[in-house]
Chain A
C-alpha cells in the first residue's frame, strides 16, 4: 500500500486574483487522519480548501496528492488539480434553489458524475455507492424526497453524502457545523468518525473545538499564514489561539471557541 500522505503541502500559497490569500502552508494528512483548520474570519481557511480543489491559483510551494504532484509551484495561474474524484468537498454554504426539481438521491448521484465523465451514465455500482453514502449520513429514508423539502441540517448532510459518493481519498469540509442543531451535529461527528475508520483523510475548517477534540487528530492554526500545527492538545493553547485571532480576547471553554465580537462564520 502507498504510505505517502494523502495530501502534502510544502511552502504552499494560494492567492485570489484580487491579491488576498493564504501562504506558508506545510501540511501532511495521512489516510484515516482528520485535521482541523482553525482561524478567524477572513483568515484564508476557505481559500486554502478551494486552493486544494484547484479553484484558487497556487502561487508558491508544492502540493502532492498521494504520490501525484500536479506541477511545480510558482506560476500565478497554476491550479492544483487533484486526481479525478479523489477530493470530496462540502462547501460552507450552498446557494441552492429550494424549488429546483431534484430528489435527494439525484443530488447525491452528482457526486459520481466526475468519475463517469461525459458519455457514461450511472449504473448499478453508482446506485449502490449513492445508497451507501445516504446510509452513512443517515438519510436513506429520505432518498426519494425533493431536496428542497429537507431541513437545513438535512440538506447539509445530503451534500456531505454527495461528497462521499465520489469515494474520495480526501474530504474537505468548510465550516460544516454552522447552523446545525445538536442531532445533526452528532450525526456529522459520527460520519467523520466512520470515514476515518474507512481510511478517508478529512480536513475540516471550523470554529468549533468540539469537533476538533472529538474527531480530529491534529490542528492547523491559520491567519493569512500558517501559525502552528500539530496534535490538538499541543496546538490549542490559549496563547496560540490568541495569536491566531490577533489579540481579540479569547475564552476557551470546554467545547466552544468563543471570540467576543467574532460572529463565528
Chain B
C-alpha cells in the first residue's frame, strides 16, 4: 500500500475519518491536560482514575447498552475524582491507598461485565477500546466531553500552574486548593471517559502521560509545553491510526488500532528521549572541552631561544 494512502487516503473512509477526528480532539486535549499531570506529578492518581472509570463503563453498558457507556463512565469518573481529591486532602495519598481503590473498582467492573452474555468481547472492548467502530452518533458527545475537559483546565490554567509550582504560595494568594484539585481531577476524569470509549481504559494512561513527558524533554519554556504536548499527541495519534490501517489492510495482519496508537506514542517518546539525551550529552562535551581550553596554560609566543 502506498504511504500516501495510509497517511491520507485511508481517512476518506467514513469509519477511519471518524476515528481520526475523535482521536485528534482527544489527543490534543489529553496532551494539554497531561502537561499539568506531569507538572503536578499526578501520574499515579491518573492511573487510579482510569481504573475507577471501568465499573461505570460496565454498569452503563449493562443498563443502557453502548449508549450507556458515556454517562456511566462520566458518573464513575467524577465520583472517582471526588474520592481521590478527598483522599489527597485527608493526607491519604499513599500508593497503597490508591492501589486499593483502583483494584476494588476494577474488580466491581469485571463482576458486572461477567454477567453479560458476551463477556470476553465486551471486556476486550472496554479494556482496549473500539476506536474504529465508534458509531456516528457518539462522535459529538465524545468531542463535547473532551472540549469540556479542555475548558475546565483553560479557565483555571494560571492558577493551576501557580499551584503546581508553589502550592503554599498559591494558597496564600487566596486560591482554593480544594477547588483547583477538584477541577483538575475532574478534567483528567473526563479525558479518561472520552478515551475509554476510544482506546480503552488500559491504554488511556499513555495519552495522558506520554505527551507531557515528551514536552518536558523538548522545552524548558512554560508556555511552549502545551503546544509541544498537544502537537506531539496529535501527530502520534494520526500516525498510529495510519500505521494500524496500513498493517491491517496492506499487510493483512489484524492489529488493534488503539494499541497501535499507543505504541506510536511510546516509540515517539523513545525517539525524543534519545535525541534530547544525545543533544545534552554533546552540549556537555562541547562545554567541557571549552572549559578545558579556557583553563589551559597560555601559550607564550617565544622568540626562538
**A residues apposed to B, CB below 8 Å:** 50, 53-55, 81, 84, 89, 91, 94-97, 100-103, 106-107, 110-111, 113-114, 116, 118-119, 121, 146, 159, 162, 166
Contacts of B219 in A (CB 8 A): 101
If A91-B172, A103-B221 are given as contacts, then 14 extra A-B residue pairs at C-beta distance below 8 Å, sorted by A number, are: A50-B172, A54-B174, A55-B171, A81-B174, A84-B174, A89-B169, A100-B165, A102-B165, A103-B222, A110-B162, A110-B173, A118-B155, A118-B158, A146-B220
Interface positions of B (Cβ within 8 A of A): 39, 155-156, 158-159, 161-162, 164-166, 168-175, 216, 219-222, 225
Q: Roughly how many angstroms separate A251 CA and B222 CA in the complex, as a whole number? A: 49
Interface SS of chain B: helix
From the candidates A94, A103, A121, name the one contacting B169 in the complex (CB within 8 A).
A94
Across the two chains, which residue of chain B brings its CB closest to A172? B172
Q: Which of B165, B172, B175 has the most CB of A within 10 A?
A: B172
In the bound complex, do residue A96 and residue B166 qualify as a contact, i.e. CB atoms below 8 Å apart?
Answer: yes
In Å, the complex CA distance between A81 and B216 comes to: 37
- Whose C-beta in chain A lies nearest to the C-beta of B162? A110
Question: Which chain A positions have C-beta within 8 A of B220?
Answer: 101, 146
CB nearest to A174 among chain B residues? B172
Give the Cβ gap from B227 to chain A, nearest Cβ, in Å: 14
- The docked-state distance in angstroms from the alpha carbon of A135 to that of B111 is 64
Instruction: Give bound CA distance, A98 to B175, whole Å.
Output: 22
A183 to B48 alpha-carbon distance, docked (Å): 49
Known: A84-B174, A113-B158, A118-B156. A162 touches B169 (CB 8 A): yes
Interchain nearest-CB distance for B206 vs A (Å): 22
The 9 closest A-B pairs by CB, nearest first: A89-B172, A101-B220, A110-B162, A113-B158, A114-B173, A102-B222, A53-B172, A100-B165, A101-B222
Taking the closest CB of chain B, its distance from the CB of A215, in whole angstroms, is 23
Min CB distance B254 to A, Å, is 42
Asked whether A116 lies within 8 Å of B172 as measured between CB atoms, the reply is: no
Of B161, B173, B222, chain A has the most CB atoms within 10 Å of the CB of: B173
Q: Are A118 and B174 in contact (CB under 8 A)?
A: no
Q: B160: shortest Cβ distance to chain A, in Å?
A: 11
Q: How far is the CB of B261 from chain A (nearest CB, A)?
A: 27
- In the assembled complex, the CB of A92 is this many whole angstroms from the nearest CB of chain B, namely 10
Report the minimum CB–CB distance from B226 to chain A (whole Å): 11
Chain B residues with CB below 8 A from A96, complex form: 165-166
Cβ contact of B159, chosen from A55, A100, A113, A162, cutoff 8 A: A113
